[in-house]
Structure formats: structure tokens, C-alpha cells
Amino acid sequence: MTVDFRGKQLYKLKDREVYFVIEHQSTQDNEMPYRILEYETEIMRRCFIENESKNKLHAKVIAIVIYTGPEKWKQPQSIVEIQEKFGYKVNLNENYSGLGKYNILSIDECSNEELLEEGTFISKAMLLEKAKGEEELIDVLEKIIPMIKDNEKADMITILRYILMKDLGKEKAQEYIKILEGGIDMSGFVNTLREDRERTIKKARKEGKEEGKEEGKIEEAFRVAKSMVKEKIDISIVEKITGLKRNQFM
């Protein structure tokens, strides 16, 4: 079975068979070590197929799970921990220690200021993960774009694609993903996001004002109708003047 790495980030150190696989997780998952083990096995399989030199057949895989859920991560972080959790005593001769092992990064444990100061690729990714809603996402992008290195751009776009799908919904996200894939620079993309959001806000305000005006007209019609009824004016005349039906004000 071939493992699908879509929705995950996979990086390789230059001139070394050291790989980083980053998994994004918003819910608790007690099977995570087995999933990480699948990633490790697939990476090593590809390494075996692609390299003829024997000294490159072994790949080191470092797995990182970026957790965005509200509760503290409580799940096993290796196959050994799963075995022990369910009462299996691992024999000292059984070397499970590194299988399915991963590092957990919880975004709630770091402030935005700390992540910005750190300035690493992972800290930038975590800032994007922490952003709640379109406005905050735009603000974060404006802060980190000057910090994005040329060799990080492609991977940053991959993360953005994932976050847009998660935060904006599939239909709206697809529109922005097409813009990204069209080769627009990151600053231009953020400007597009900002302009679209401002247009949406203006439209909502305009519609709200128009709706408010319409509601005001209806309230005034009710007030006039009740006053006319109180003065014992013929109901048919009240209906004609106010535009209301008798069952609306009687």
C-alpha cells in the first residue's frame, strides 16, 4: 500500500537522507503512532527504490505533529506507549523504542510574539495554524511574508492551501488556490485576500443598511395603521394607505 502524503508536509535535508514529515491534527488520535509508522515505512521504501548506493538505503525520519485542538494532547507518542497503555509489557529484547515515534507541538503553548521572534519555518507554520478566521489569517501573513525565505515559498504555499481549505470552506478556498497556483507573489496574494475581505464587509454593511431601512418602513406602517384603527378609520382605507393586510395589524 502506498501512503498518500497530501495534506502533509515532507522535507529532506540537502545531501542527507534525513526527512521531516509534518502532520496537522485538530483532534485527539490514539492511532497516531501507527500512522507515523506508515509514513516512515513509505519514506524508507522510496529511499530504497531511488538510491542504488548502499550507504543511502537507510533514511532517518523525524515526525512532527502540529496540534491545534483545545485540550492538551493525551495520546501515546510511540508504539511502545501504545503497547504499555493496553497492558503489554515490552521485553527488553524487543526494540520498539523508535517505532511510530513523533514530536508533538501544541500551538496554544506558544504566544504569537514568541513564534514571530523564533522565525523558523515551523514557527511560521504554527502562526498560520493559530490564526482564527480570515482577518487574523491576513494579519499573520502580512507579518511573516518578509520573513519567508526563497527556499520556503513552495512549502509555505502548501501549508496555505491546507489552511484555506480548513478555514474558508472548499468552494471559496479553491478560488484562492487557483490564484496561488497562478504564480502570484505572496504579497500580491495577501493584497487580494485583503481587498476581497473589504469588499465583502462593505457589501454586508450596505445590505444591512438597506434591510434596516426596509424594517423601519414596515415599523412605521404598523404604527400608522394602529393609530388609524384607534381613530376608527375604515379598515379598507388603512390597508390602502399603509400597504398592510388587516391580519397584520388587527
Do 19 and 12 contact (CB within 8 A), yes or no?
yes
Contact 129, 156 (CB under 8 A): no
Among residues 12, 107, 96, the alpha carbon closest in space to that of 69 is found at 107
CA–CA separation, 147 vs 159, rounded Å? Answer: 16
- Count of other CB atoms within 10 angstroms of residue 67: 23
pLDDT at residue 14, rounded to an integer: 72
Q: Report pLDDT for 65.
A: 87
Digit-by-digit pLDDT tens for the chain (250 residues) are 455 666 567 777 777 778 888 888 878 888 899 988 888 888 888 877 777 655 565 778 888 888 877 788 888 888 888 877 776 666 655 555 677 888 888 877 778 888 888 888 888 888 887 887 778 888 888 888 888 887 777 777 777 777 777 777 777 777 777 777 776 777 787 888 888 878 877 776 776 666 666 666 777 777 777 888 777 787 788 777 777 776 666 6
**Rounded CA separation 26/142 (Å):** 24
Confidence at residue 209, expressed as pLDDT on a 0 to 100 scale: 64
Strand segments (E) across 28-116? 60-67, 103-106
What is the residue type of 31?
E
pLDDT at position 97: 61
**Whole-angstrom distance, CA of residue 24 vs CA of residue 111:** 18
Distance, in Å, from the CA atom of 63 to the CA atom of 80, rounded to the nearest integer, reads 16
User: What is the bridge-based pairing of β-strands 60-67 and 18-25?
Assistant: parallel
Asked if 156 contacts 165 with a C-beta cutoff of 8 angstroms, the reply is no
Sheet harboring 18-25: ordered strands across? 9-12, 18-25, 60-67, 103-106
Q: Which residues pair with 103 in a beta bridge?
A: 64
The model carries a pTM of 0.54
